[in-house]
Amino acid sequence: MAVGLTACSSGSPTSAPSSSTTAAPKPAPATTPVTTTRTQADCNASYLAQFTTRRKLAQLLTVGVTGAADAQNVVGTDQVGGIFVGSWTDQALLADHQIDQVKAAAKVPLMVTIDEEGGRVSRLKNLIGAAPAARTAAQTMTADEFYTQSLARGKAMKDLGITADLAPDADVSDQAADSVIGDRSFSDDPNVVTSFAGSFIRAMHDVGLGAVMKHFPGHGHGSGDSHTGAVHTPPLAELQNNDLVPFRNLIGSGAAVMVGHLDVPGLTTPNVPASISPQAMSLLRQGTGYDAKPFDGPIFTDDLGGMAAISNRMNIEDAVAAALEAGADNALWTTSTAVPQVLDKLEQEVNSGRLPMAQVDASVLRMVEFKGVTPHC
């Protein structure tokens, strides 16, 4: 995601929503058109015309890779839209600039993503140095100082070939530092989270990287760890003046949004976590259900393959299909092996009408804009 991004203001706090905003929104059609000029429409149509249906669907996938050979294979063979560099990935992919050959195998610009938060979620500390956890940063420096630190780290990430960081963590939490969110959260004060997350987003955009704030609608007060099982949050009404505040404030920052595997009373259908919930996607898209502006940037899922909150419920093919049909634009998981089977499943969903082509096209266009690429007529 050399995610080019449009504006990157840090957002400004809004007043607390009235009680009328706490009801879960009704899902809106995911195919609602974005107003465009005729020239834009023509350019968009020309861009989309280069893809088969399968290649369009591949653009909506971001998959983890083990190293250069794995990445080159999945990009060259399946033309996935993005790859994910995890703790298990051979660092030579970046350190030795092997990523350049991988990017060259992509017919459209490739997203190279990582979740580099600092603290205990740091994949690059051996390459660009360590950084304090979010909570420590917020306690020991100003938001401007954090911006400066993040700017330097963003430049270093870009030099390695990263195009987007799956950060910042915009969760609000006072839970123990070593809990699943814990010190990954800047603060239990949503305004502090807004300030520091906004500084991070601005720094990433100022060096030409994409940012993906997470985990909507808020993991900071969840019942447990979605890596190990189902997680329930407080009811939607209780999230309004706490967990949802940073997302509300930063929805116009230019960052993408990652939706978590969270069961949210008053929002999601029981046993259908937010990452595959039409109601959660609609809340984010419409904004009215939490007093925010509508969001037309890319919606990412959290890892659909390696986290028990999803994998205990369904296989990866069904999870990706459910996420995209619910309204996500990009499905993320941590291995490349199932890509052909996932694409087979998605093609079946398109052919059946369960995943409308207009919705796929809208997601492809969101992703290309997020990469900073302007379709040419």
Residues with active-site annotation: 227, 302
> CA-CA distances (angstroms) from residue 139 to 49, 53, 175, 189, 221?
50, 49, 15, 12, 20
The sign of the dihedral angle between the CA atoms of 116, 121, 125, 127 is negative
* β-strand partners of 301: 259
Cis upstream peptide for 168 (omega within 30°): yes
Give the span between the Cα atoms of 273 and 217, in whole angstroms.
11
Phi, psi values for residue 48, rounded to 5°: -65, -30
In angstroms, rounded to a whole number, what is the distance separating the alpha carbons of residues 29 and 328?
12
DSSP 160: H
Omega of the bond prior to 215 within 30 degrees of 0, cis? yes
Q: Distance between CA atoms of 370 and 26, rounded to whole angstroms?
A: 27
Question: 184, exposed or middle or buried, with CB in 10 Å at 0-12, 13-18, 19+?
Answer: buried
- Alpha helices in 175-294, H assignment, sequence order: 190-206, 236-239, 245-250, 278-286
CA angle centred on 151, ends 147 and 156, rounded to 5°? 150
Q: What are phi and psi of 19, to 5 degrees?
A: -65, -20
